[in-house]
Structure 1
Amino acid sequence: MLPVHFLTIVLNGDPFIRYHLEVFRQLPFPWHWHVVEGVAEQVRDSSWCAQRGGRVPQDLHRDGRSSDGTSAYLDRIAAEEPGRVSVYRKPPGVFWQGKVEMVTAPLAAMTEDCLLWQVDADELWTAEQITRARRMFLDSPSRTAALYFCHFFVGPSLVLDRLDQYGNYRAYEWLRTWRYRPGDFWHSHVPPRLMRPQPDGADLELGAANPFLHEETAAGGLVFQHFAYATREQVAFKEVYYGYDGAVRRWDALQAAGRAVGNGALPLRDFFPWVTDAATVTRAEHAMVEPLARPDAEGSWGFVPPARGASTMGAIHRSLRAEIVEMRRNPGEPIVEKHIAEAFGVSRTPVREAVLRLADEGLIEIFPQVGTFVARIPVNALPEAIVIRTSLEGTAVRYAAQRATGSQIAGLRANLLLQQETVEDGDLNAFHEADERFHALIAEIAGYPGLWSMAQQVKVQVDRYRRLTLPEPGRLTNVLAEHAAIVDAIADADPALAADRMAVHLDGLLTSIPQAQGANLFFFTGP
């Protein structure tokens, strides 16, 4: 059955701790929620807090437990769900000796093979996402863990928007799910390392053995919402416990700046001095993120009904857009708003809004009194889009060849290996995702990730056409060889050669247009 055991450690988890239970209750398989409450002494893997000046004053807790109503809430739900919710605490006034002791506490009660899923109080998932992730593990029995991206909130409506920066480093964030067996144990909590003893006496780290990578989980829509700095109370807690001096004052300044940022972005390090990288902040609506939690005018937080967590205009837009770009909805196919509304469990209003937005993007055509259809691919627009993309990516790869570090080149080669695996599996969707990530990595290594963002804006119709070329015999192998040649030029620190190889790679899209159009005549418009 592969039950799921959720694990949460918490102190003062209001309001977000109240979100999860209603989500879990909708899951169509066995589950158990283990909640470990209390103060973690700043020792062992939490000692860095004390080194920064963090402390645990008396007003941060009540006898070693929460002081914000979390304790009473946990008592209530444990009484409501005695077979599915377990709460673990130290005696009153006694602290946990670090967070490893906290996450270890429930393991003795986990006597079955299962998925162990760490869910921090402020990390929000939908029931649909959890169900989909479990299905991925069922379909791939050799997978040992899963890594995820998140939408990282630094205010009620402010999110971070860059990968491999604060809040979304693929090197160690966010490992959240493991295939657990009784006898597995925690080596550390930060980073979370779950170990399995081996017959030869060694210990296998499950998160590093054979995990689902970020790109794989993201392709399945498994991106959670992390309300890490969403409330002033959270920030006040972090200022004291983690030693983030002046955090509340700086957070207030960020909220004020965020209200005026419009569609722009703000450098996070201008507000949070403990952040030293290039992370940037934008408004959630600009990032097309529909928050699962929102405060009202009085500041009281409420949640999107879990059963309808994905049923917002933004989510419908993303879903339809992905189906069209990935050619899961063919050009000319009717769009029936009534059916979409029923599938998402919403009225037709958010569906209509999503359809209108897609029409503005040229992906849907609306014919009054006739119907709404997936737009055909405008063949005349493809050459210009490819030329623009070639220019942008040529610039990016030149800078990447000048600036790439050894670890960044290793990251590109790791992506090539992932591409190779998708080719061997014949998985076109997974190959496309890995391909997209490859080009994004080059822009990030160049130091200009915005170049890839600009390329994505102009290449949407190219992506649709390109999907038609991937099944061609030998196509994936040729693309992979072209990618490898680009990486070799970057590794050789040869900007001119790297740009030439990128141009050759993208020019192939130009020469393949007539063949793709001839084989799929009704998918295109124009000569």
Structure 2
Amino acid sequence: MKHNDFASFMVKNFDHWIVIEGHARAGGSTSWCKNLGKPQRSTDGTHEFMMNLCEQNQNVHYYSPGVYWKSKDAQVNEAILTAKLITNSCFLWQVDCDEQFEAADLSLAESELIKSGSNAGAFQFYHLLGKDGLGRQLIGKGNWGDNWHTRLWLWKGERFITHEPPVIENQKPVAHLSPKYHHYSYCFEESVRFKEMYYGYKGLLENWRRLRSFKGDFPQPVTLLLGKTNRHVPKNSFIDIYS
């Protein structure tokens, strides 16, 4: 959230920002993830950062009970309970901590969603993977980088049925919206280390470090990073240079 001072962006551009912090156990729609035995609450300064942000901004709603969440599904529905204390009708956004939008794209997406007749909108994104040995920013393409993620709803109090993929009750066919966001999912070593443990990607961190020193040509197969035998390695996907 400190990357590009995005926390300040969230405070400035959203009427309310709800953060439900803590470690979610494997269960529900993410039952295939790993139970890591990590502390219930962040130990990297996230908790202190959010407490300070909450004290300084009345539109930040931060809940960190210091317990393990039963699943990510339960965690996002805790956010719904908080939202219901504020309103029962609004544009509801899901913004992961490594996803960053431009301010103009928020209002554009909301306008497009209204015109679509749907109550759910999905976005494509720039799937950023960090830099290689020549300082070139790398990006995932194909099925891995050019697919659609639902991140916006015309919300009227519904709960989430699942977190992955994010689906609310009474959700209509999802509209494809034109804005694209930046997804910094593989840009930082700590993020990659966590993905290797939580999602069970064997050799991911070693592959990512090797990619950081790679000076060859692109595009390259996505298996250069994700390996050939791990779960959810997408087909028809590759790594290229971001431009």
Residue 36 to residue 72, structure 1, CA distance change in 2 (3 Å): same
Note closer, same or farther for the CA distance 1:276–1:118 as it changes in structure 2 (3 Å cut).
Answer: closer
The aligned amino acid for 2:160 is W
Structure 2, gaps ≥5 residues long: 132-136
Alignment partner of 1:71 out of 47, 52, 55: 47
2:220 corresponds, among 266, 276, 280, to 266
Deviation (angstroms), 1:118: 0.4
* 3-state secondary structure, aligned to 2:32: helix
Amino acid at match of 1:37: E
Any residues of structure 2 matched to 1:313-392 within 5 Å, and which? none
| 1:69-123 alpha-carbon deviations (Å, 9 max, x no partner) | 11111001111112x1101222x3x200000111001212322310111000000
Q: Find out whether 1:241 has 2:198 as its counterpart.
A: yes
Q: How does 1:24-423 map to 2 (within 5 A)?
A: 24-27=10-13, 31-49=15-33, 54-58=34-38, 61=39, 64-82=40-58, 84-90=59-65, 92=66, 94-110=67-83, 111-138=87-114, 140=115, 142-156=117-131, 157-162=137-142, 165-169=143-147, 173-182=148-157, 184-195=158-169, 204=170, 206=171, 209-213=172-176, 217-218=177-178, 222-257=179-214, 260-261=215-216, 264-273=218-227, 274=230, 275-284=233-242, 288=243
**2:35–2:198 Cα contact (<8 Å) kept:** yes
Structure ranking higher on relative contact order (CA contacts 8 Å, 6+ apart): 2
- In structure 2, how many angstroms separate the alpha carbons of the residues matched to 1:121 and 1:153? 14
Which structure shows the higher strand fraction?
2
With normalisation by structure 1, the TM-score equals: 0.42
Unaligned runs of 5+ in 1: 1-13, 196-203, 289-527
Larger Rg, first or second structure (1 or 2): 1
Is the Cα contact below 8 Å between 1:24 and 1:127 reproduced in 2? no
Cα offsets for 1:466-497 (capped at 9, x unmatched): xxxxxxxxxxxxxxxxxxxxxxxxxxxxxxxx
Higher helix share: 1
TM, length-normalised to structure 2: 0.87
Percent identity between matched residues is 24
- Check the 8 A contact 2:24/2:71 in 1, yes or no: yes
Tell me, yes or no, if the aligned pair for 1:40 and 1:98 is still in contact at 8 Å. yes
Deviation per residue, 1:22-66 (Å, 9 max, x gap): 223443xx61101111000112222201xxxx33134xx4xx111
Q: Is the 8 A contact 1:26 1:127 kept in 2?
A: no
Q: Does 1:23 align with 2:1?
A: no
Aligned residues: 231
Following superposition, the deviation at residue 145 of structure 1 comes to 1.2
Report the residue type matching 2:105 in the other structure. Q
